[in-house]
Structure 1
Amino acid sequence: MLSPLDFLNDLMNPDLWFLPKALIVAAMSSIICGVVGNFVVLRGMASIGDAVSHAVFPGLAVAFVVSGNLVVGGAISGVTTAILVAVFSQNRRIKEDSIIGVIFVAAFALGIVVIQLAPGYAGSLQSFLFGSITGIPNSDIAVVGITGFVILLVMFLLNKELVSVSLDRDMAKASGLPVFALDLVLYVMVSLAVVISIQTIGNILVLALLVAPAATTRLLTDRLGVMMVLSPTIGALSAVIGMYFSWSFDSPTGGTIVLVVTAIFLVVWLFSPKQGLVGKAIARLTSKNSRQAAVEQA
């Protein structure tokens, strides 16, 4: 196994420029997904992350056919589809998950049709399905950085409003908040977070990066402010550790990062002081012993 020092030396090696480039993009993507993922978990809409990853596919396919920028193509496709979902979801007779199931799967089907027009597409688009540390253009660092800054700025400026809609839509509407506009903003932010993450994590696995850090944090605290700091921290840490193991064992980058963040979630799920499985068992045992001691003293 490669030592941490050797990994650091490889990061500094000019001949391996793709390695620190991939680490930078992975860390930035993890931080952004960690912040956006808090609202996804609070709202109980984890399915949208998976759906968006399918929705960006036709944009990727079209961009490939016309030799355009795949990230831009995926962003246009994902955002357009997210807007359609937000519009159709205003009809409360049809549940949000049903709308997501229809529109996003249709978008993915469109992508399958489009890619048939481009001979040899499979190899070129495979990195977007499973992630690749060698296929990230230099320009994408700036794209991810600028997009990430915009996402974080919007999340910060609309934090209270998005929290209100996520926790109680009816109360938010009664308070005069523009629920539709806020739904639209959240869908678009999720779409952009997914798009800028697919190069390192892959659009098949990106849901884990979006949900797992926030779900882990949810087991540790009920305070949203703490979640907003802890979730991106866990995401970034998972990206760094995942890249280290991926480079050490020559394993797929996206899959390795997902395994790391999943392992962190499982550890917290087991050993969280208040919500962990072991912590709850210890609390029950302590409570039982206390009751028995009280009975014996009586």
Structure 2
Amino acid sequence: MSVLLDPFAVAFVQRALLGGALVAVVCAVVGTWVVLRGMAFLGEAMAHGMLPGIAIATLTGFPPVAGAAVSAAAMSVGVGALQRRGRLSADTSIGLLFVASLSLGVIVISASRSFATDASAILFGDILAIERGDLVLLALAAAVTLLVAAAGHRSFVALAVDPRQAQLLGLRPRLAHILLVGLVTLAVVSAYQAVGSLLVVGMLLGPAVAAGAWTRRIVPTMALAALIGTAAVAVGLVLSWHLGTAAGATVAFTAICSGAVSTGIRALTRPTRPALDERTA
């Protein structure tokens, strides 16, 4: 038992667990909608789209999270602009900005004298470096996510089921989509320090997929995903502590494994159960 509890006797691991749990809540709520609406590519693009802002902020001495927020917001606005004013599909627009942002980020990082150190921190995060101030920001992000998700739940459901019907019902599907993209942006920025820009999608998708294997309803899926995500953080931190591996990467890998294991077990017990992206509220 002490093998499991020993790491959490250290203050910075306690902060990492609490911060990771808050990230798990944000990613559970947003990740459920990402899986339901097939927005995984957008989430991946947002995560990589943060790279230029993070790199510039790191090299100029500004808070990396601020750079991540600005860059991710610019990415979301850029995707929307290309879709509205051009003839490009959503995937094409996202793909173009995805590669452009990733390339620009690598160019900026490579200009740094401490290239390897900066790249490691930016790409893979450092959950063990979470401070009290970071916990306050993560708690605020979780509160905003829960409030927006609760207020927009009906519109989000209608958008997922039938956007045209949502428009007829006066549920403003375009606004709902904008809010949902905003939540994805908030989630990837919140999860950045915990798992880095490359591994954010692991926290966003893994627990949501795992929870979706056990319940058909949206809100219970979110709640279960939050529990699974928190458990993944705890298990990842323990494994990292004893194996000497990178904490953020271990947490992200554990989160993805939770999805694979849950889906596999459920397929063996009830192979005809519908996937999360085939469900409604």
TM-score, normalised to structure 2, is 0.88
Structure 1 residue 93: Cα displacement:
5.0
| Aligned length, in residue pairs | 273
Determine the structure 2 residue equivalent to 1:207: 201
Alpha-carbon deviations, 1:42-93, whole Å to 9, x = none? Answer: 1011111211111110110111122000011101110221122234334695
Report the Cα distance in structure 2 between the residues aligned to 1:125 and 1:116, rounded to whole angstroms: 8
Is the contact between residue 205 and residue 256 of structure 2 (CA under 8 Å) also seen in structure 1?
no
1:147 equivalent to 2:137? Answer no
1:252 equivalent to 2:225? Answer no
Is the contact between residue 213 and residue 234 of structure 1 (CA under 8 Å) also seen in structure 2?
yes
Task: Give the AA of the match of 2:219.
Answer: G
Determine the structure 2 residue equivalent to 1:189: 183
Partner residue of 1:5 out of 2, 12, 33: 2
1:179 equivalent to 2:173? Answer yes
Is the contact between residue 109 and residue 118 of structure 2 (CA under 8 Å) also seen in structure 1?
no
Partner residue of 2:97 out of 103, 114, 118: 103
Determine the structure 1 residue equivalent to 2:268: 278
CA separation of 1:92/1:222 partners in 2, compared to 1, >3 Å: closer, same or farther? farther
Equivalent positions of 1:109-188 (< 5 A) are: 109-188=103-182
Report the Cα distance in structure 1 between the residues aligned to 2:86 and 2:60, rounded to whole angstroms: 39
Alpha-carbon deviations, 1:190-240, whole Å to 9, x = none? Answer: 111111112221221111110111112222221112112111111111111
| Percent identity between the two aligned chains | 29
Report the Cα distance in structure 1 between the residues aligned to 2:271 and 2:187, rounded to whole angstroms: 37
CA separation of 1:224/1:10 partners in 2, compared to 1, >3 Å: closer, same or farther? closer
Greater alpha carbon shift after TM alignment, 118-127 vs 90-99: 90-99
Q: Which runs of 5+ in 1 are unaligned?
A: 284-298
Is the contact between residue 86 and residue 183 of structure 1 (CA under 8 Å) also seen in structure 2?
no
Task: Give the AA of the match of 1:132.
Answer: D
Partner residue of 1:38 out of 22, 27, 32: 32
1:19 equivalent to 2:16? Answer no
1:74 equivalent to 2:68? Answer yes
Is the contact between residue 165 and residue 182 of structure 1 (CA under 8 Å) also seen in structure 2?
yes
Counterpart secondary structure, 2:127: coil
Report the Cα distance in structure 2 between the residues aligned to 1:259 and 1:150, rounded to whole angstroms: 27
Is the contact between residue 210 and residue 261 of structure 2 (CA under 8 Å) also seen in structure 1?
no
RMSD of aligned Cα (Å): 2.2
Determine the structure 2 residue equivalent to 1:52: 46
Report the Cα distance in structure 2 between the residues aligned to 1:31 and 1:239, rounded to whole angstroms: 11
Is the contact between residue 65 and residue 117 of structure 1 (CA under 8 Å) also seen in structure 2?
no
CA separation of 1:81/1:282 partners in 2, compared to 1, >3 Å: closer, same or farther? closer
Structure 1 residue 27: Cα displacement:
1.3
Task: Give the AA of the match of 1:96.
Answer: A
Task: Give the AA of the match of 2:169.
Answer: S
Task: Give the AA of the match of 1:38.
Answer: T
Structure 1 residue 8: Cα displacement:
3.0
Alpha-carbon deviations, 1:86-105, whole Å to 9, x = none? Answer: 34334695322111111222
CA separation of 1:281/1:147 partners in 2, compared to 1, >3 Å: closer, same or farther? closer
Greater alpha carbon shift after TM alignment, 82-91 vs 103-112: 82-91
Structure 1 residue 188: Cα displacement:
1.6
Equivalent positions of 1:195-234 (< 5 A) are: 195-234=189-228
Structure 1 residue 166: Cα displacement:
2.3
Determine the structure 1 residue equivalent to 2:23: 29
Structure 1 residue 161: Cα displacement:
0.9
Determine the structure 2 residue equivalent to 1:294: none
Is the contact between residue 212 and residue 262 of structure 1 (CA under 8 Å) also seen in structure 2?
yes
CA separation of 1:92/1:153 partners in 2, compared to 1, >3 Å: closer, same or farther? farther
Q: Which has the larger radius of gyration?
A: 1
Report the Cα distance in structure 2 between the residues aligned to 1:133 and 1:46, rounded to whole angstroms: 23
Report the Cα distance in structure 1 between the residues aligned to 2:130 and 2:247, rounded to whole angstroms: 13
